[in-house]
Amino acid sequence: MPNPAGRKAPSGARKLSFEPAYRETFWHRNCVASGLSAGFIEPLEASALALVELSAAMLADEMPATRDTMDIVARRFNDSFTYRWSA
């Protein structure tokens, strides 16, 4: 296949290295990490898409109306997503 940029085409597949990781705390005070800010699983991120949807749903369902219960909700969110990212 001709290369319009004039660059030499790669001769084979490259092996990519990456270190999967996630945050220790997803919800801290008034900041919630979701998606790539929460962690990195794989280069194509197919698995993380489900975690983005789950975190958005949990935020929508459990966002506290006042600061009084935010620490409880944050702890539950952190526990839930630590479990999900580590599974």
User: How do residues 43-66 score in pLDDT, each as one tens digit?
Assistant: 666 777 888 899 999 999 999 889
d(CA 12, CA 20): 25
Which pLDDT does position 24 carry in this prediction?
92
Overall residue count recorded for the chain in this entry: 87
In the chain, beta strands by DSSP E: 21-22, 27-28, 31-32, 39-40
Q: Quick one: average pLDDT of 68-75? A: 94
What are 22's strand-pairing partners?
A: 39
Reported as a pLDDT band with limits 50, 70 and 90, residue 37 is confident
Mean pLDDT of 24-42: 87
Q: What tokens were used for 67? A: 């600061």
pLDDT at 4 over 80: no
pTM for the structure as a whole: 0.72
